[in-house]
Structure formats: C-alpha cells, structure tokens
Amino acid sequence: MPDNQPFVVSRVGEAAAVLRARFQELGYLFFKGYVAPDTCDGLLAALLAQTRGHVGRESAGELPALLGRPFVESDPVWDEIYPRIQSLEAFHEFFHTEPMLDLMRLVSGTEVFVYPMKMARISTPGKVGFETPPHQDAFSHHAGPTMAGIWVALHDIHAPMGRVKVLPGSHKDGVRKVFKAEGVGGVQCEIYPHEKRWHVSDSQAGDVLIFHSCCVHKAEPNTTENTVRMSVDTRFSDYGAPVFSTNLEPHHGWRIDGLDWQRVYRDWKNPELQNYWVDYPNLF
C-alpha cells in the first residue's frame, strides 16, 4: 500500500518568501479554491461539449460521467475528441488570465512565460494500468529548473477518481533515468527505494497544484464505476529561460493529423494569444 499523506496546503496570502521556500523544499505548492468554481464549471462545460457524447453530465455542477466505452490518451475516441478540445479558445486563454499569471509570478518571483502547449486530461474508469506513470516534466518537456507545471481541478476529485500525486522532495535529485511504461507519456522515471511517501489529497473545483520540473508526480488509477476525472494543466518558466521547440506545438500535434495551430485558431475571436511566443528570446 502506498504511504499517502495529504498535500501541504499553501495560501496566496502567505509571504512570497515563505511560499517560494516551501516550493524549493517540497517541490510543489497546493492552493485550495484558487480558481472560482464558476470559472471551472464553465470551462468543464466547454470541454464536455466537445466530447461527442462520450463523456457528459445531466446538469451543471455534476461530475462528468463516462457514457461510452473507457478510453485513454491516444485511443481513437480520444484522438477524435481532443482536437476539438484543443481548439477551444477559452481553454488556452484560461492560463493567460491575470489570476493565473499572478499565481505563477508569485511562485517564480519574476515575470513568467506560459508554455504554448496546454493539456486537458480525461481520466476514465476501466483503464487501470494506463494512468500517468511517475515522471518528471524536466524530462518530458526538456526543461530547466525554473519550469513548473500548473494543474487545475475543474470539478471535485475524490480518492478513486484518479487524483494526481507528488513525491515530495524528489526534485532535489535532478533528472532521473527513465524506463518504458504503459500509460500517458509512455515512460516512467526511477523511484529510489527510500521514496515511499507520496503527497495527495482530494481536490475541489479550482484547487491548483504547482510542481517543480523535477518533482516526480503521477496519477492514481480511476477506479470509479463511471465517473471521469477532468483537469487542465500547462507549464511555465521564468521569462527568458530556454524553452524547447516541442512545447510550441499543440499537445499531441506531433501525432494527430491536422492538429496544428492553424486548425486550433480556426474559430478564435482574439488574435492576441495566437503565436504569442514567436518573439520569445530563448527558444531552442
């Protein structure tokens, strides 16, 4: 049995130096209810509207339910749904709103660069063994020490629904060896024998988890009968830190035919967030 302890909860009202010291100590910060529930529910509704009946709910405020067969990232159903989700202006825009930027700046202590790649997660039941394996984003995003992940619960997430958990302090040992694994991303990193204690908690809509690029994290399996866990995340770094080219593509644009920015931007109203990174000074 994993040795789970609850996330240490941080508050935006705490001194910035205290928050940053905690981030460097634990490798993550968890903020309760940072995003307004209405914002989360609106975004969730927008995502659900793109799932073509595979995931849905009876009414606003309810948890998403699986209506069709279970699927994981890269399955045909997911490949059908995902370009539609990726094309949502509101989904991309969300991470560029002032409250989100403020939180990233608070943790970084400086101006930040939000990665163009935005991720939406759909964790269905019936796919135990295919959940996101333990990994470090420094490896998967070829990123340096100021990069961090920012993950937002779009609805309440309870223990069996595939919560995201972190290995506290694991960022201190740098980038680890990886092995092939089932599940999202296809690789898992080494876990050292003494690392048995994970931090994880149930979330409510609007809870935000920020994790260091070297912080080992993973998803639990969704063992519910028919509840689906949906969340969104992206990456950010200190403005000016090197950003690798693969992060400049839509998520899964490398393998889904036609999932490129042209497709994503097709119905957008606001041009300001389109190709905003082209003048970023440190792309490689």
Ligand X SMILES: O=C(O)CCC(=O)C(=O)O
Task: Report the interface residues with ligand X, using CB under 6 A.
Answer: 121, 123, 132, 137, 149, 151, 164, 217, 219, 231, 233
Residue 54 or 212: the one with the smaller Cβ distance to ligand X is: 212
Residue 185 or 268: the one with the smaller Cβ distance to ligand X is: 185
Residue 166 or 267: the one with the smaller Cβ distance to ligand X is: 166
Q: State the pairing for strand pair 112-123/229-238.
A: antiparallel
Minimum CB–partner distance for residue 182 and ligand X (Å)? 14
Minimum CB–partner distance for residue 262 and ligand X (Å)? 26
Written as six digits, the tokens of 156 are 């309440």
Q: Where are the beta strands (DSSP E) in the chain?
A: 3-5, 9-10, 28-31, 55-56, 65-66, 112-123, 148-153, 164-166, 178-180, 187-189, 197-199, 208-212, 217-219, 229-238
For residue 61, the surrounding DSSP H or E stretch is none
Written as six digits, the tokens of 201 are 């908690």
Minimum CB–partner distance for residue 108 and ligand X (Å)? 18
Minimum CB–partner distance for residue 157 and ligand X (Å)? 10
- Nearest CA to 180 out of 133, 139, 119, 213 is that of 133
DSSP characters over 205-263: TT-EEEEETT--EEE--B-SSSB-EEEEEEEEEETTS-B-GGGGSPTTTTTSTT-SHHH
Residue 13 or 212: the one with the smaller Cβ distance to ligand X is: 212
Residue 123 or 201: the one with the smaller Cβ distance to ligand X is: 123
Minimum CB–partner distance for residue 272 and ligand X (Å)? 25
Residue 88 or 184: the one with the smaller Cβ distance to ligand X is: 184
Written as six digits, the tokens of 236 are 């950010």
Minimum CB–partner distance for residue 181 and ligand X (Å)? 12
Residue 95 or 151: the one with the smaller Cβ distance to ligand X is: 151
149 contacts 108 by C-beta, under 8 angstroms: no
96 contacts 277 by C-beta, under 8 angstroms: no
189 contacts 26 by C-beta, under 8 angstroms: no
Minimum CB–partner distance for residue 136 and ligand X (Å)? 9
